[in-house]
């Protein structure tokens, strides 16, 4: 990026042909050519007068484009402001300065600034402006472009120095409006209206970036754990309600156990299911479970018969 002392300054020299056709030069050349013809074939003095008149026309007729205004000084004193179109000046005695009224851009050079919470940051900003009063822009300041850029730098440093890091990162638009208000008020005597100030980028030190990344990672992990704990709490509440319902109907609990074993057998692709003894005793009338209960009874009675 160019330094400001290397930036191209706006040149307010004599009025030229920028932005419009040099009608005065064209008319002057035509008159001079006709004067040469008159000088050679008609009259010497008339031809000389035509040559002088053509030279005067070349300097006297000027054209301003629609987006330009021309400040006219006569012998160093302000006379008038010419608007878009063709106008006349008095050669030698009058000077012209063109001013472009279109919106322009200042690219404020990134600069390291210490924020309110003592964090070094680099802030890059863009300022949009336009000339509201051409006379003030020429009369009241030597180089309004460079002067306004320096003012923008100073204002940016002042606002950023009063803001903490969180505000710089989250409220760029608000900071831009604050800079615009101060800058517009400061440049108003120069005939300049600042339309907008945009904060393009806020560059942080690498160590601070890593610390913020760790903080963000820890925050996400905390959020994930809270969500998991909330889910477990909700699941525990559901299980508690289900247990209360099953306690009212013991048969429902036993049917639920049978359903669970069926799911386990389907997943493991096995026909053998181990059934607890207490459960088998309480299910004497339920098919295979009942047979298992009878087998258990027979096994309990055999040792008794041997003892007798």
Question: Buried b vs exposed e over 206-220: b needs ≥16 C-beta within 10 Å?
Answer: eeeeeeeeeeeeeee
Token readout for 17 is 């042909």
Where helices occur in the chain by DSSP H, the ranges are: 23-41, 44-60, 134-139, 144-161, 165-170, 172-187, 206-248, 250-268, 277-281, 288-307
Q: Answer for the pair 254, 290: CB distance below 8 angstroms, yes or no.
A: no
- Dist. CA 201–CA 260, nearest whole Å: 60
Residue 13 has a pLDDT of 38
- Dist. CA 263–CA 257, nearest whole Å: 10
Q: Answer for the pair 153, 108: CB distance below 8 angstroms, yes or no.
A: yes
Token readout for 79 is 């006379």
Q: Answer for the pair 101, 168: CB distance below 8 angstroms, yes or no.
A: no
- Helix 250-268 / helix 206-248 crossing angle, nearest 10 deg: 130
Residue 8 has a pLDDT of 37
pLDDT by residue for the chain (308 residues), tens only, comes to 333 333 334 333 333 434 556 777 778 788 778 877 777 777 777 778 878 888 888 888 888 888 889 999 988 888 889 888 888 888 888 888 888 888 888 888 777 788 787 778 888 888 899 898 898 888 888 888 888 888 888 888 888 888 877 788 888 888 888 888 888 888 888 889 988 888 887 877 777 667 777 777 788 888 888 888 888 888 888 877 877 777 777 666 667 666 776 666 665 555 555 555 555 555 554 444 444 455 556 666 665 555 44
Residue 285 has a pLDDT of 46
Other residues' Cβ atoms within 10 Å of the Cβ of residue 144: 21
Q: What's phi and psi for 91, nearest 5 deg?
A: -55, 150
3-state SS, residue 127: strand
Other residues' Cβ atoms within 10 Å of the Cβ of residue 35: 21
Please, what is the end-to-end C-alpha distance for the chain in angstroms? 109
pTM above 0.95, yes or no: no
- Dist. CA 39–CA 37, nearest whole Å: 5
Residue 205 has a pLDDT of 73
Domains of the chain and any CATH numbers = 10-100 (no CATH), 104-204 (3.30.479.30), 262-303 (no CATH)
Q: What's phi and psi for 212, nearest 5 deg?
A: -70, -35
Residue 1 has a pLDDT of 35
- Dist. CA 120–CA 115, nearest whole Å: 6
């Amino acid at each position: 990026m160019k330094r400001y002392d290397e930036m191209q300054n706006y040149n307010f020299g004599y009025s030229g042909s920028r932005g419009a056709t040099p009608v005065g030069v064209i008319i002057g050349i035509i008159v001079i050519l006709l004067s040469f013809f008159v000088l050679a074939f008609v009259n010497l003095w008339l031809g000389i007068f035509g040559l002088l008149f053509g030279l005067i026309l070349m300097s006297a007729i000027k054209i301003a484009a629609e987006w330009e205004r021309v400040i006219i000084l006569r012998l160093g004193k302000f006379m008038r402001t010419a608007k878009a179109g063709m106008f006349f000046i008095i050669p030698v005695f009058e000077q012209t300065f063109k001013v472009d009224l279109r919106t322009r851009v200042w690219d404020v050079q990134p600069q390291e600034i210490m924020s309110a919470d003592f964090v070094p940051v680099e802030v890059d900003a863009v300022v949009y402006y336009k000339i509201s009063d051409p006379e003030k822009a020429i009369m009241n300041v030597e180089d309004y472009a460079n002067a306004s850029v320096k003012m923008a730098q100073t204002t940016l440093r002042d606002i950023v120095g009063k803001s903490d890091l969180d505000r710089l990162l989250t409220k760029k638009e608000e900071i831009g409006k604050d800079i615009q208000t101060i800058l517009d008020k400061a440049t108003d005597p120069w005939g300049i209206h600042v339309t907008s100030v945009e904060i393009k980028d806020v560059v942080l030190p690498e160590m601070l970036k890593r610390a913020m990344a760790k903080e963000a990672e820890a925050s996400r992990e905390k959020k994930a754990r809270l969500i998991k704990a909330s889910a477990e709490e909700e699941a525990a509440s559901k299980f508690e309600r289900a247990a209360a319902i099953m306690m009212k109907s013991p048969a429902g609990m036993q049917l639920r156990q049978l359903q669970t074993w069926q799911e386990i057998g389907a997943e493991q692709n096995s026909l053998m299911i181990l059934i607890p003894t207490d459960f088998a005793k309480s299910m004497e009338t339920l098919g295979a479970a009942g047979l298992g209960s009878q087998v258990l009874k027979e096994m309990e009675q055999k040792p008794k018969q041997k003892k007798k």
